[in-house]
Amino acid sequence: MDSGVEIEKMIFQKVLKYLFSIFLLCSNPLFAETKNPYKTWYGDPDLQGIWTNATLTTLERPGHFKTLEVSEEEARAAATKAAVDSFAYDNQYSEGETPRTGTDVGGYNTAWMDPGAELFQLFGKYRTSIVAYPKNGKIPWDREKADKFFQKRRSDRSRRRDHPELRGVGERCVVGFGSSGGPPMMNVLYNNHYQIVQSPGHVVIMAEMVHDARIIRLGGSHPPDNITPWLGDSVGHWDGNTLVVETTNFNPQHTFRGGLRHFFAITPEAIVTERFTRISKDQILYRFYVDDPDVYRQVWAGEMPLRSIKDKIYEYACHEGNYSMANILAGAREEEKRRGKV
């Protein structure tokens, strides 16, 4: 391609990103600035505390919802259906009945699950998706690029039984699954609590899931591209009462972000921008947008509340290296022997 054309393309993309950020911050009421009377002892806006993003609201809008916002009656109906489904999940078998041979016996009952019991509210309105842009509430995959991404992932997964460190990073308890530690930070099946701690020059967000701790530097620049922390490299600054965080340098082993109710990708070239604004004593407005042209057609954005809770952050006792890992690998070796591969 002609170098002049390439430069023009790069300039156009930067202008487009700038205009999109202005759209989020100005034209869309979802991203409006709010006042924050809470301050730390050294004068920065105070986001500290223990928060949760547990909710029935999913990342993408389910097909039975047609709009971003729904009535209180529709929200109650969704909560009732979720409770009924939860009960049915825990009562699949009659007393004395056991699962058929070869079927999934399940891993958890609902006593272990805490995904949230109702759709979240923002500005007094119930929401049907975390994705707020595009307006259809769907992630704007670039199908050709996404197919290549998932094809490579399938190829990599074929080697997962060859070595413990080829297993998924969530399974190995290196990071939480489903992007719970972010960015962006997503609600998952359980352990949806976060603790925010601040000091002059730094903000730390610790997720209860696997105790992922993201240390956000206030000011400064990102390291070279070959430095790729598990949660990326986060640099923040204050925009009035809002903490703005830009994260780059994503780890290539942590590209797929999948939970039971959502999945998306964050490639090493992605830029994720987050905005944290304390809008009341008990709520932080958490907003993000994902710029990753390696898998998406356009930038996409979302928002949700982080709600203050009185619970504590408890130890998350993950099970890296448990007996299941040894059994999986030993079983794979036995299969290879039977097929005459070793």
DSSP 91-141: T-S-TT--PPTTS---S--GGG--S-SS--EETTEEESBSEEESTTS---B
DSSP letters spanning 257-306? EE-SS-EEE--TT-EEEEEEEEEETTEEEEEEEEE-TTTBSS-EEEEEEE
- Sign of the dihedral through C-alpha 125, 186, 292, 14: positive
Does 7 have pLDDT greater than 50? no
Residue 162: its pLDDT value, please? 75
Does 15 have pLDDT greater than 60? no
| Residues 129, 220 within the same domain | yes
Asked whether residue 93 is domain-assigned, the answer is no
Q: Which two tokens stand for residue 101?
A: 């041979």
- pLDDT tens, residue by residue, 204-224: 999 998 889 999 999 999 999
| Residues 155, 208 within the same domain | yes
Dihedral in degrees, nearest 10, Cα atoms 157, 163, 166, 168: 90
Domain carrying residue 5: 1-32
Closest CA to 312 of 180, 168, 195: 195
Q: Render the burial of 239-252: b for 16+ CB within 10 Å, e for the rest.
A: eebbbbbbbbbbbe
Does 29 have pLDDT greater than 50? no
Asked whether residue 256 is domain-assigned, the answer is yes
| Residues 124, 18 within the same domain | no
| Residues 192, 216 within the same domain | yes
Does 31 have pLDDT greater than 70? no
Residue 322: its pLDDT value, please? 66
Does 199 have pLDDT greater than 50? yes
What is the pairing mode between strands 193-199 and 202-207?
A: antiparallel
The helix/strand/coil state of 152 is: helix
| Residues 253, 325 within the same domain | yes
Query: Angle at Cα 122 formed by Cα 310 and Cα 52, nearest 5°?
Result: 25
Residue 159: in which H helix or E strand, if any? none
Q: How confident is the model at residue 97 (pLDDT cuts 50, 70, 90)?
A: confident
Instruction: Report, as an integer, the average pLDDT of 263-280.
Output: 95
CA–CA dist 108, 110 (Å, integer): 7
| Residues 196, 333 within the same domain | yes
Does 258 have pLDDT greater than 60? yes
Q: How confident is the model at residue 316 (pLDDT cuts 50, 70, 90)?
A: confident
| Residues 160, 306 within the same domain | yes
Residue 174: its pLDDT value, please? 86
Which of 121-130, 149-158, 308-317 reaches the highest mean pLDDT? 121-130
- The 8-class DSSP code of residue 313 comes to P
- pLDDT tens, residue by residue, 44-82: 999 999 999 999 999 999 999 999 999 999 999 999 988
Instruction: Report, as an integer, the average pLDDT of 286-315.
Output: 94
Asked whether residue 163 is domain-assigned, the answer is yes
Asked whether residue 304 is domain-assigned, the answer is yes
| Residues 3, 78 within the same domain | no
| Residues 17, 164 within the same domain | no
For 3, residues 6+ apart whose C-beta sits below 8 A from its C-beta are none
| Residues 304, 292 within the same domain | yes
- pLDDT tens, residue by residue, 147-162: 998 888 777 666 666 7
Asked whether residue 327 is domain-assigned, the answer is yes
Three-state secondary structure of 289-302:
EEECCCCECCCEEE
Instruction: Report, as an integer, the average pLDDT of 118-141.
Output: 95
Instruction: Report, as an integer, the average pLDDT of 128-148.
Output: 95
| Residues 218, 263 within the same domain | yes
Mean pLDDT of the chain: 84
Does 87 have pLDDT greater than 60? yes
Query: Angle at Cα 177 formed by Cα 98 and Cα 125, nearest 5°?
Result: 95
Q: How confident is the model at residue 131 (pLDDT cuts 50, 70, 90)?
A: very high
Instruction: Tell me how far the alpha carbon of residue 149 is from its chain's centroid.
Output: 18
Asked whether residue 260 is domain-assigned, the answer is yes
Which of 174-188, 246-260, 298-312 reaches the highest mean pLDDT? 298-312
Q: How many residues would you count in the chain? A: 342
Asked whether residue 80 is domain-assigned, the answer is yes
Q: How confident is the model at residue 85 (pLDDT cuts 50, 70, 90)?
A: confident
Q: Which two tokens stand for residue 283?
A: 């709520």
**128 vs 82, 296, 299, CA distance in Å?**
14, 22, 20
- The 8-class DSSP code of residue 243 comes to E
Residue 105: its pLDDT value, please? 65
- pLDDT tens, residue by residue, 157-196: 666 667 777 777 887 888 888 898 989 999 998 889 999 9
Asked whether residue 101 is domain-assigned, the answer is no
Total domains in the chain come to 2
| Residues 4, 150 within the same domain | no
